[in-house]
Chain A
């Protein structure tokens, strides 16, 4: 079974500062990792994903994430935060080769970027 942990319920950063939203995962096979963002009363929007290859993946809106196999982590990062980045961020994982397994989400981290 797979699981995701997002250790921080909330992250606050000042506009223009770098941000990191943490995620660790557990999966029995090969991980297929995702970050999604959710704005109030909206659906989940895909930001980026990792399947294989370069450990640093780049996504939408200037976000990137670093896959670290030894630490089983997939932290979301952005060099310079914007107020408009304030939202709820979800890390998700599924087993890449284990059939049609569902996406399992972390509990979410609320990012607040302060002007």
Chain B
């Protein structure tokens, strides 16, 4: 069965650079979440989309933005990167109509140097 696909798997950027993370949810899933997991920490909710519209916002810095496109894939754009942005970024999708569990991608490990 198709899973949530995230790209790239690993990314190294310098301070003040920008990064774009991509997420391809499971087909026909209507909801996408983005989470940030720092070293040794629990996943922190950043932002979510329902049917391509932003539906909820968590602890997402103003330097970050996200959107969901007509094909349901989502992108997390991160600008003016800081060392503290180094983390594992997860995307998850679910079918809200069927109240499924959230299915997570393998994550993108971002390292800011």
Contact = CB atoms under 8 A, between A and B. Distances in A.
Nearest to B51: A100
Nearest to A6: B42
B105 interface: yes
Contacts of B31: 100
A49 B58 CA distance: 23
Interface string B75-91: 00000000000001010
A31 to B, nearest CB: 13
B56 to A, nearest CB: 5
A44 B33 contact: no
Given A41-B109, A43-B90, A43-B105, A106 B42 contact: yes
Contacts of A67: none
* Size class of the A contact interface (CB-based, 8 Å): 20 to 34
Contacts of A107: 41-42
Interface string B11-37: 000000000000000000001010000
Contacts of B96: 100
Contacts, number: 53
* Size class of the B contact interface (CB-based, 8 Å): 20 to 34
Given A102-B33, A102-B56, A43 B42 contact: no
A90 B43 contact: yes
B55 interface: yes
A42 B106 contact: yes
A105 B109 CA distance: 19
Given A102-B33, A105-B43, A43 B106 contact: yes
Contact of B45 (A34, A103, A106): A103
B101 interface: yes
B64 interface: no
A73 to B, nearest CB: 18
B52 to A, nearest CB: 12
